[in-house]
Amino acid sequence: MALERTLSIIKPDATKRNLTGKINAVFEDAGLRIVAQKRIQLSEKQAGAFYAVHKERPFYGSLVASMIAEPVVVQVLQAENAVAKHREVMGATNPSDAAEGTVRKLFAESIEANSVHGSDSLENAKNEIAFFFAETEILP
């Protein structure tokens, strides 16, 4: 196993309900270390670019709108095997399929308002981290 970094976003449905600390407690308890963090308001252009891979999907417009409705917390998590560990702790995209104890089972409202985003591969993690953070902002 290698020390990895992954991008985590606490989404508007969660920041709105004051769940940032509770969600990060789940991550930290799982051994994920928060090595960079900021609360930001995404623009429509930024959210659209971040989710460009889903541009042709029917939910794209609604997803972008949901991501700009409230501030988000973007953060870099570091751990051995961080990409897979983070995805495991987040749970399935659809909260009705998520395992007990996962962030989405505990907190998500729907498949779209699913409280958190996490990179799905190490390669995407590198690109998604660079989308939001300069290397100098990441403090292991």
Contacts of 87 (CB under 8 A, 6+ apart): 118, 120
- Cβ distance to ligand CMP smaller for residue 3 or 127: 127
Footprint on residues 8-37 left by ligand CMP (CB under 6 A)? none
Range list of β-strands (E), 11-140: 33-40, 72-80, 116-118
Annotated active-site residue in 114, 117, 128, 133: 117
Q: Of the listed pieces 24-32, 78-86, 96-104, 109-117, which binds ligand CMP according to CB under 6 A? A: 109-117
Q: Residue 70 interacts with ligand CMP (CB under 6 A)?
A: no
Cα angle, residue 112 at apex, residues 109 and 114 outer, rounded to 5°: 50
The tokens describing 50, both together, are: 């971040």
Pick one of 10, 14, 63, 73: the residue that binds ligand CMP (CB under 6 A). 63
d(CA 122, CA 112): 23
In whole angstroms, how close is the CB of 58 to ligand CMP at the nearest point? 8
Q: Which secondary-structure segment (H or E) carries 42?
A: none
Interacting residue ranges for ligand CMP, rule: CB under 6 A: 54, 59, 63, 93, 111-112, 114, 117
Give catalytic residues, as residue numbers.
Answer: 117
